[in-house]
A and B are shown apart, each in its own frame.
Chain A
Amino acid sequence: MTDPARGIVVAHGRVAEALVETVERIAGVRGALTALSNDDAAAESLADRVADLARGANVVLFADLASGSCGVACRRASGPAAEIPVVTGVNLPMLLDFVFHRDLPAAELARRAAEKGTAGIEALRSLEASDAARPAAD
């Protein structure tokens, strides 16, 4: 039996803090996620902080932007062999799924997170666009 998985959310400004707090408020699950901001951190010290937080088994790293300091810090902390799974484009749907499936292995959780996070994105057609797309009545 592995320990329940933990997630580290690494993001710009107060995004990680807000996401983690919101997940706790919606799901009622505390302690599953840790927020880390890139504010006031040089590139390598941010990666060191991620690596410190990620010590131990069954950890998934979540970054907001694949391009940029948070994504790079997560990949750096994951190491050349990508030992710790990294998921980019972090959003609420993926984190909400994560906190309810922490018994799964980290690699499986990362795969699920990418799937659930992507599934949560949809461009809803506005009424105007729907009308424009509909053939005009004779």
Chain B
Amino acid sequence: MPLVLLRIDDRLLHGQVLVGWGGALDVSWYVIADDEIAASEWERDLYAAGLPAGVEGAFLTVDEAARAIESLEAREGAGVLLTRAPGAMRRIAETGALRGRDVNLGGLHAAPGRRRAADYVYLSGPDIEELEAIERAGASVTARDLPGARRVPLAELVRAAR
């Protein structure tokens, strides 16, 4: 299973992802599914410049990423799929491509309308709806900032945020 992590994280490529998860899972490529970044050369360059040497990055629209899941699973090496918000991952999950997979909620920071669910997860009503839709599409959603941390199920996060 070369796609070893499906993660929602509003910082996308950052230290925890590249070092914490990247080191533990020996990740050699990242796919960022984000319409805004895919459409902007400057944004793509910005994130690509932040990748460690020898690690590849691909910047796809959310629709492109959803269509690419099967071929990504056939790629060599361990890879990570990242979205910065629950809605993009929900769109991918609703194609059925993530059935049976665990979606990792790695970081959603405080913002107006969001309430604390964990130290690194703040959720709004619409965020919760998107995450529950991912579970309805056949994937589980658990929060975990780093590989050694406890997996926190979505239901527990929702209880904490209400």
A 68-83 contacts with B by CB, 8 A: 68-72, 75-76, 80
**B11–A42 CB distance below 8 A:** yes
Report B-chain residues with C-beta under 8 Å of the C-beta of A107.
none
- The smallest C-beta distance from B113 to any residue of chain A, in angstroms, reads 14
Residue count of chain A within 8 Å CB distance of chain B: 19
Closest to B119 in A: A40
Query: Chain A interface: which of B46-54, B88-96, B135-143, B144-152?
Result: B46-54
| Cα-based distance from A71 to B51 in the complex (angstroms) | 10
Contact with B along A51-70 (1 / 0, CB 8 A): 00000000000000111111
| Cα-based distance from A96 to B86 in the complex (angstroms) | 43
**A75–B14 CB distance below 8 A:** no
Known: A12-B15, A69-B15. A75 touches B49 (CB 8 A): yes
Closest to A75 in B: B46
Known: A40-B109, A42-B109. A76 touches B11 (CB 8 A): no
Contact with A along B15-56 (1 / 0, CB 8 A): 101110000000000000000000000100011011110000
What class of interface size applies to chain B in its complex with A?
20 to 34
- The smallest C-beta distance from A70 to any residue of chain B, in angstroms, reads 8
- The smallest C-beta distance from A51 to any residue of chain B, in angstroms, reads 13
Is A43 part of the binding interface, using a Cβ–Cβ cutoff of 8 Å?
yes
Partner of B84, one of A43, A66, A67: A43
| Cα-based distance from A76 to B14 in the complex (angstroms) | 14
Report B-chain residues with C-beta under 8 Å of the C-beta of A76.
46
- The smallest C-beta distance from A11 to any residue of chain B, in angstroms, reads 10
Contact with B along A110-125 (1 / 0, CB 8 A): 0000000000000000
| Cα-based distance from A71 to B11 in the complex (angstroms) | 12
Is B12 part of the binding interface, using a Cβ–Cβ cutoff of 8 Å?
yes
Report A-chain residues with C-beta under 8 Å of the C-beta of B74.
none
| Cα-based distance from A43 to B107 in the complex (angstroms) | 11
**B46–A67 CB distance below 8 A:** no
**A43–B15 CB distance below 8 A:** no
- The smallest C-beta distance from B59 to any residue of chain A, in angstroms, reads 13
17 contacts between A and B (CB under 8 A): A40-B110, A42-B10, A42-B111, A43-B12, A65-B15, A65-B19, A67-B13, A67-B19, A67-B50, A67-B51, A68-B14, A68-B17, A68-B19, A69-B11, A69-B13, A72-B47, A75-B46
Q: Which 8 A-B pairs have the closest CB atoms?
A: A69-B14, A68-B15, A42-B10, A42-B109, A68-B14, A43-B11, A72-B50, A69-B11
Besides A71-B50, A75-B46, 20 more A-B contacts (Cβ < 8 Å) are A12-B15, A38-B11, A38-B14, A38-B15, A41-B109, A42-B11, A42-B111, A43-B12, A43-B84, A46-B11, A67-B13, A67-B19, A67-B52, A68-B15, A68-B19, A68-B50, A69-B14, A69-B15, A71-B49, A75-B50
